[in-house]
Structure 1
């Protein structure tokens, strides 16, 4: 953004200031404001006068240098460095003479787009990024909605199929203003995908639009593969499923490789193999086999992301634990993937007690009946005890934990 020097004559203020023997001396200020890009730069301020004037800045980051005068025009160079802040900054140029003072506003763009949106902070640990994520919210029932009854001609048909309105920038801004620091964007990529596993550009564009709104609000964004369990579970044993999984993440990575560390990836959602093992049935060997499949999925995911280049080479990633269960996060059979970037956090879901977190009040699911409230002394103790288990078994060992 440049000062409109070509419009100097139109923008001129002719201001009466000082008196001399001939009457009033005119002070003709050629600019009414200055607007600088986030990178900073220099602009000239021209003042036509014979008066003895001074020009100073209200802020140290905005500097004024006298450049001399020519034919009663006094020249000042206004210099601004790059804005290191994630917010617009303001200063005032104060033009003074005897009996006269005029302020000229100076504004500089925020650096957020460059610093927060596309930059990977080299010294930022995954633990620190998880801390930045703070309170998060899930953008569910939107891009992850599925159903063979949904008209596949438009992404908006899927976005509204489960009762959600079309997502707008104002909604995302509302989340940020409400205090959320992170937003999970679950996506069912198969909704709009060709037979050769190419994601429809409309879906890819829509995901990126919402991603940009999220990042522009300063929130950490998480993109995953959601409601795709039927075929994702086959990846370790089926070459075609593996080809599809690889294709999806290669496309997502290619589209997202320019974004910085405020974007995280999550490989899948709540993958388990109940047909092989459950806590209520199956041998230890069966459990090892089931856990091994999830470990294999996580490792494949990490390998695909790291091989995609760009900022993905150092992107912070989430790894799914078996069925995203808390007790499985520190199970000896859960393996942290080999990662050359060493930027992985464990993610798990915490829906305890399920009768409150999952079921509506009074709903009888067979295994439990929904309750209307939570917060007894015993329930707080259960929560604290579970968080302590995660701390002792993972966090204290250098493994960050992200919990939904």
Structure 2
């Protein structure tokens, strides 16, 4: 009996040892899988709604006047870098992008002019695709969300109103290539249908007070956005369930809140809407008086604050309350003839008004305005602190009534 017990004990010990090794290996494999799945480059979380993604995007910033720089005067023989630095930006580095994360930003918008290096058959040069992908990787590897778009791109989108088929062919070819390049990236990579060029003043003069041509103008924007969604959903990899950003009409708050603008049909239910905020334009854009307005150098009156809150309420009522997440793809102001304090007051007010309602506001920044790309830090440390305090404050919560 003693010998029998000894044999049984040895057998049990062996089994336990095998199980222990097996469990250890299984645990290691599970941990490895979790680490792989949590990689911002590849992780695609099926249980995350677009509203939750937008909430995680926090406060964002634009890599403006860089990869979307364009112009016939730029020497294309220098390749991507000639365009990347043409409007004053230094070459993008990983340290530069890491500085955004260190400053408290959780998302970076990467505007792109895809036509800069493109063949006559609309084939994008691999060099340009490679560079955009590298910059997006910098963003993802620093734990942030990357938004890649089709920007002004020399203005060819305006041609949709007169030569729809040719423009749509080009638009389709661009997104076929971009979606294929980013197909295997996870949900930290977001694609945006276009910039603020989705408006057609030759069909409808938005300032005239007349509705003549309005339906046709909006119809083109709606068709472009639908084609964008269909293209992405019909492509490979993670694209059928990728979170997408849909440009509003002229990305203007009032024009996008108009019922004529329609979000595209999307079986995946993973679309957010993009608007830009440069209100009032006499403060944000004008640097000197013009025939349409007098340049403002101050902001912050009760009336200014009321207009801002009303605009955010419009977006909430039209989109958030109907399950459509909102990203303020650009907001900002010219700094000329304005004090640092006034500029800071405006920027923090917009960020707070949008953020507390569950939107993601993305600061429009170009070289040497708000962020020092050479030294990789915010130029106004108080603005940095104020934005970080906004990001740490409570929000209204996630709006996902329709599953977005």
TM-score by length of 2: 0.71
Give the Cα–Cα distance (whole angstroms) in 2 for the partners of residues 229 and 282 of structure 1. 29
Partner of 1:27 in structure 2? none
Q: Which one of 148, 169, 173 corresponds to residue 72 of structure 2?
A: 148
Q: Which moved more, 1:120-129 or 1:233-242?
A: 233-242
Q: Conserved in 1, the CA contact under 8 Å of 2:68 and 2:153?
A: no
Alignment of structure 1 residues 154-303 onto 2, 5 Å? 154-228=79-153, 230-235=155-160, 237-270=163-196, 271-281=198-208, 283-303=210-230
Cα 1:139/1:84, change in 2 over 3 Å: farther
Q: How far is 1:389 from its partner?
A: 1.3
Cα 1:83/1:232, change in 2 over 3 Å: farther
Cα 1:118/1:351, change in 2 over 3 Å: same
1:397 maps to 2:333:
no
Q: How far is 1:80 from its partner?
A: 9.1
1:335 maps to 2:335:
no
Cα 1:364/1:216, change in 2 over 3 Å: same
Give the Cα–Cα distance (whole angstroms) in 2 for the partners of residues 334 and 167 of structure 1. 36
Alignment of structure 1 residues 4-403 onto 2, 5 Å? 81=27, 111=35, 114-153=38-77, 154-228=79-153, 230-235=155-160, 237-270=163-196, 271-281=198-208, 283-360=210-287, 363-403=288-328
RMSD of equivalent CA atoms? 2.5
Q: How far is 1:282 from its partner?
A: 6.6
Q: How far is 1:83 from its partner?
A: 9.7
Aligned-partner SS, 1:202: helix
Q: How far is 1:240 from its partner?
A: 2.1
Cα 1:316/1:78, change in 2 over 3 Å: closer
How many aligned residue pairs are there? 308
Q: How far is 1:397 from its partner?
A: 1.2
User: Which protein, 1 or 2, shows the higher relative CO under an 8 Å CA cutoff with sep ≥ 6?
Assistant: 2
Which blocks of at least 5 consecutive residues in structure 2 are unaligned? Answer: 1-15, 18-22, 331-404
Q: How far is 1:81 from its partner?
A: 3.8
Q: Which moved more, 1:239-248 or 1:252-261?
A: 239-248
Which blocks of at least 5 consecutive residues in structure 1 are unaligned? Answer: 1-65, 68-76, 86-107
| Structure having the larger proportion of residues in strand | 1
Give the Cα–Cα distance (whole angstroms) in 2 for the partners of residues 84 and 275 of structure 1. 58
Cα 1:193/1:373, change in 2 over 3 Å: same
| Structure having the larger proportion of residues in helix | 2
CA deviation map 1:14-51 (0-9, x unaligned): xxxxxxxxxxxxxxxxxxxxxxxxxxxxxxxxxxxxxx
Cα 1:246/1:378, change in 2 over 3 Å: same
Compare CA radii of gyration and give the structure with the larger one. 1
TM-score by length of 1: 0.71
